[in-house]
Amino acid sequence: MAKYKVLVVETLRKEVVIEANSAKEAKAIANDIRSKGELILTADDFDSFSIHCCETCKINEK
């Protein structure tokens, strides 16, 4: 039986309202908030998942 490398991707998503003078500034503020750990996504923010088969594993079994 073959073995496969499988990639499982889960996406979290949260919408926040940020007061700013431009979209670029709002993104910078959001990034700053996230970097400081003030914007934390949890399992409650689950949005979607996908599963991809990457390749057959080439593992020598003994």
Task: Inform me whether the pLDDT recorded for 62 exceeds 50.
Answer: no
Contact 16, 30 (CB under 8 A): yes
Contact 11, 47 (CB under 8 A): yes
Number of Cβ atoms within 10 Å of the Cβ of 10: 10
Is the full-model pTM beyond 0.75?
Answer: no
Question: Residue 43: which of 6, 15, 14, 17 has the closest Cα?
Answer: 14
pLDDT at site 13: 97
pLDDT band at 55 (very low <50, low <70, confident <90, very high): confident
